[in-house]
Amino acid sequence: DAGVIQSPRHEVTEMGQEVTLRCKPISGHNSLFWYRQTMMRGLELLIYFNNNVPIDDSGMPEDRFSAKMPNASFSTLKIQPSEPRDSAVYFCASSGFSYNEQFFGPGTRLTVL
């Protein structure tokens, strides 16, 4: 198993553009998590899904952020419009159940100019 897969690995875009980050969880895992990593705030949970259903999106910073999980093998995190302060590394993680060990993807490094 390749583990959690994220794409792209790096994204550079201009302020105001739409950004879509993608995640493929480990096959068979029921829970998926999106995190944002910054130097100042460390790792922050943005949203998580159980069985493709969003359970807690209280960490989503504002309405510019949205996440979907149309099926058990795919999730997207979208930022529209993007701003320079969104620059960070975005991690996706999955687990068998939401309270089990989480397995992280390699992350997407986003730079908004």
Partner 1 sequence: AQRVTQPEKLLSVFKGAPVELKCNYSYSGSPELFWYVQYSRQRLQLLLRHISRESIKGFTADLNKGETSFHLKKPFAQEEDSAMYYCALRGASGSARQLTFGSGTQLTVLP
Q: Is 90 in the site for partner 1 (CB under 8 A)?
A: no
Contact predicate 94/26, CB 8 Å: yes
Question: What are the start-end ranges of the E strands in 8-62?
Answer: 10-13, 19-24, 31-38, 42-50, 53-56
Stretch that binds partner 1, among 8-16, 17-25, 43-51, 62-70 (CB under 8 A): 43-51
Count the Cβ atoms, other than its own, within 10 Å of residue 29: 19
Residue count, binding to partner 1 (CB under 8 A):
25
Q: Write down the least CB distance from residue 107 to partner 1, Å.
A: 8
Residue numbers of the site for partner 1 (CB under 8 A)?
3-4, 33, 35, 39-45, 48, 56, 58, 91, 93, 98-99, 101-107
